[in-house]
Amino acid sequence: MAYAQAIPKGTGRNWALTSAVGGWAERDPNAASAWVQELPAGPTRDQAMQTVVSSLAEKDPAAALAFLQNLPPGRNRQSLYWPIFNKWTMSDPSAAAERAAQLPPGSSRDTALQAIGSNWANQDPEAAYAWANTLPPGQGRTNAMQNILGSWANKDPQRVASIMTALPAGPARDQSVVNVARQWALTDARAALAWTEALPSGDARRNAMRAALTAWVQAEPVVAAEYVSALPPGKAQEEAATSIALQLASSDASAAVRWAEKIPEGAARQNALSNIVSQWAEADPQAAADFAARARGDGRKALLENVSRQWARSDPQAALAWAGNLPEAAARDSALPNIITTLAENDPAEAAKLVSRISDADSQATATGMIASQWAGNDPAAASKWIESFPEGKSRQRAFEQLMSRWSQNDPYAAGAWLATVPSGDSRDAAVNAFTRRIVASDPQAAVQWVQTIGNESMRNTQLETIAAAWIRTDANSAAAWIAASALPNDVKARLLPPRP
């Protein structure tokens, strides 16, 4: 021991101390434990104490447990149950299980049950599974069952698959389903996938199919692609294509694209390409952008949108230069909105100068609204001055709505003062609509007064009904009095007011 302590601090010293403590513990565990507890708290002491307990457990796990339970509480005590019950299960799993059941409920017993399940499953998974089914519900049972089924699935996935239906719904079954699918796919992927397809819809089914496909595509990518192509069009094919696409794209985007292009035209092919291009754009945006620009068909727009979104996050100026050089207006309109709105997050004034490059009215309106919202967060006066220059139309309406929604959230009084200066029109109606949605919770009477200034009758009546319904929830008497005296249609009043007794 003196030799080990004389070694300079580092891996060699820790190894020497551990070896010395192990030999000491076999001869005099109490003395070794007392010495270990005098060490400074930290990894060296934790490792040394684990060596003491493990040495005892090799010869007499019951004595090791008694020794552990007499130790003073410590941060590493719970983890020491694992080596004890791991060794115990190797020699007598039934005795280990019986003793673990006598431990008081808590994390220590859960650790013991998990250790038993993990080791017993390697020896006799049927017996381990039968034992786990006798445990009371709780984290210990869940952990033990997961370990048993996970280990069992490595050896006999078909057997584990056959007992899935007997398991109660929960984390243990969900994780086991995934483990079975993954392991089974290594030996018979088609059978594993047929099994996953028969599972009930939900996250467990999706994760199991993804696990099986991932295992298969790593071993036989061409055969896996042929399988996906042969699936009938629908959700199952789309999920399968996406799983394989993500797996292939993580290592070779070009190969992933070649694979996806073999899938027949449809949603599965498009979803696969979209996921590949998104991942590709993170690593090599220029190459992904070149591919998206060369694409043809209905999916081209989505590919350009995905590339522009990813590229704008890492290098918006480079993305902007690329999009601006696209020869077709339709391609530019697909790429520019994402780039411009990303620029608006840091420099809305600069983004505002670029929005006119978008020729499609709907795309321009969307981008304009997002810029207005971003700008309103730090300089609503400048944003309002910018959008006032727009002619009446989609872009102006969307911008007024987004500006008012953001501005009234931060400063409703200033937003209301500006709104009072806006001339009548569709854009003002949109702004009033957004403004009243924000203030109705704090001042429903003011919201009602503002809504009554909306020029569009249909919008006005719809918003009045919405405001009145919200008002009833906070002040039923005042709201009911206003509704009764209002000019709302009788059928609206009937919907809002409770029937008279």
Q: What is the average pLDDT across 445-470?
A: 92
Task: Give the contacts of 431 (CB within 8 A, at least 6 positions apart).
Answer: 400, 401, 403, 404, 419, 422
Question: pLDDT value at position 3?
Answer: 35
Q: What is the average pLDDT across 385-410?
A: 94
**156 band by pLDDT with thresholds 50, 70 and 90:** confident
Percent of the chain's residues with pLDDT above 70 = 89
More confident residue, 263 or 360: 360
Model confidence pLDDT, tens digit, residues 6-43: 434 544 445 455 556 656 666 666 666 666 666 666 66
More confident residue, 152 or 454: 454
For the chain, how many residues are written?
Answer: 501
Q: Using the structure block, give the residue that is written with the tokens 């003062």.
A: 417
**492 band by pLDDT with thresholds 50, 70 and 90:** confident
User: Rounded distance, CA 446 to CA 448, Å?
Assistant: 5
Helix (H), strand (E), coil (C) string for 326-342: CCCHHHHHHHHHHHHHH
Question: pLDDT value at position 12?
Answer: 46
Using a CB cutoff of 8 Å and minimum separation of 24, what contacts does 180-183 make? 180/149, 180/153, 180/208, 181/157, 181/208, 181/209, 181/211, 181/212, 182/153, 182/211, 182/212, 182/214, 182/215, 183/153, 183/154, 183/157, 183/215
Model confidence pLDDT, tens digit, residues 179-199: 888 888 888 888 888 888 888
Model confidence pLDDT, tens digit, residues 48-88: 777 777 777 778 888 888 878 877 676 567 778 888 898 99
Return the amino acid letter for 392. E
Model confidence pLDDT, tens digit, residues 220-260: 877 887 888 788 888 778 888 887 888 788 878 888 888 88
356 vs 134, 329, 353, 384, CA distance in Å?
70, 12, 7, 17
User: Mean pLDDT score of the chain, rounded to an integer?
Assistant: 84
Name the least confident of 4-13, 262-271, 302-311: 4-13
Question: pLDDT value at position 145?
Answer: 87
User: Rounded distance, CA 352 to CA 36, Å?
Assistant: 68
Q: What is the average pLDDT across 263-289?
A: 88
Rg of the chain in Å (alpha carbons): 34
37: which 2 tokens? 């507890």
Q: Using an 8 Å Cβ cutoff, are 438 and 408 in contact? A: yes
Tell me, yes or no, if the pTM score tops 0.75.
no
User: Rounded distance, CA 38 to CA 329, Å?
Assistant: 76
Q: Please, where are the H alpha helices in 420-489?
A: 426-439, 444-451, 457-474, 476-485
Is the confidence at residue 407, as pLDDT, over 90? yes
Name the least confident of 11-25, 314-328, 401-415, 425-439: 11-25
DSSP track, 361-379: HHHHHHHHHHHHHHHHTT-
Model confidence pLDDT, tens digit, residues 83-128: 889 899 999 999 999 999 999 988 889 999 999 998 999 899 999 9
**1 band by pLDDT with thresholds 50, 70 and 90:** very low
Question: pLDDT value at position 32?
Answer: 64
